[in-house]
Amino acid sequence: MTAHTETTHDKASTDRIEKRVVLQAPRSRVWRAIANVEEFGAWFNARFEGEFTEGATVRGRITQPGYEHIELELQLVRIEPERYFAYRWHPGAIDPGVDYSAEPTTLVEFTLEDVDAGTAVTIVESGFDKIPLTRRAEAFRLNDRGWDAESKNLERYVA
C-alpha cells in the first residue's frame, strides 16, 4: 500500500474529475476487478443483475448498510479488454421516487496501463456541468448527511 492516489481535477472546472492510482497487481487482475460484474460490485459495494457487455444497461443496488435503497443503472459504453472500460450513469441518483432517465448522464472511464510497480488506473468522470444544478445541490446535501456512517465504513476497508 505504498502507492498513492492523485486527484487532478482542474480547480476552475466543475465539469470533470480525474484520478490516477497505481495498483500493485497485474493488469489482468485489475481488469477483472473492473470488468467483471461481480468483482466490480465487491469493491464498489453494489450488487448488479446482468453482465457487463458493451451496449448493455446493467441495474444494481448499493449493498452498504443504510444505503440499500439506492439503485444504480450503468449504461456500458465501451469495453476494450484489459485497457479501457466506460459507462454512463446518473450521478447522485439517490431518490427512488425520482425518475432520472430523462436527465443527462456523466461518463465514467477506467483506463489501464502497465507501469513498473504494477498497473496504473486512470478514472475520469466528466459531464457534471450538464447535470441540473438543483440535482447537484440535492446530491451534495444528502451526501453530506451520510458522511459519518460512510467514513466509518471506509476505515474498515483501509485499516
Instruction: Work out whether the CA dihedral 76, 41, 108, 148 comes out positive or negative.
Output: positive
Q: Does 151 engage in binding with other proteins (CB under 8 A)?
A: yes
Is 11 an interacting residue with respect to other proteins (CB under 8 A)? yes
Near other proteins by CB under 8 A: residue from 86, 91, 99, 115: 91
Asked if residue 84 binds other proteins (CB under 8 A), the reply is no
Using the minimum distance from each CB to other proteins, give the nearer residue, 25 or 77: 25
The sheet with strand 106-115 has its strands ordered as 5-7, 16-23, 118-126, 106-115, 84-89, 71-80, 57-62, 46-49
d(CA 61, CA 38): 12
Q: Where does 57-103 show beta strands of DSSP type E?
A: 57-62, 71-80, 84-89
Sole window of 49-57, 62-70, 78-86, 96-104 interacting with other proteins (rule: CB under 8 A)? 62-70
DSSP H helices in the chain: 27-35, 37-44, 133-145, 147-158
C-alpha cell at 45: 459495494
Contacts of 54 (CB under 8 A, 6+ apart): 76, 77, 78, 79
Tell me: does residue 14 bind other proteins (CB under 8 A): yes
CB of residue 101 to other proteins, shortest distance in Å: 15
Instruction: Give the nearest distance from C-beta 59 to other proteins in angstroms.
Output: 12
Give the interface with other proteins as residue ranges (CB under 8 A). Answer: 1, 3, 5, 7, 9, 11, 13-17, 19, 21, 23-25, 29-30, 33-34, 39, 42-46, 62, 64, 67, 70, 72, 89, 91-94, 121, 123, 125, 128, 132-134, 136-144, 146-147, 150-151, 153-154, 157-158
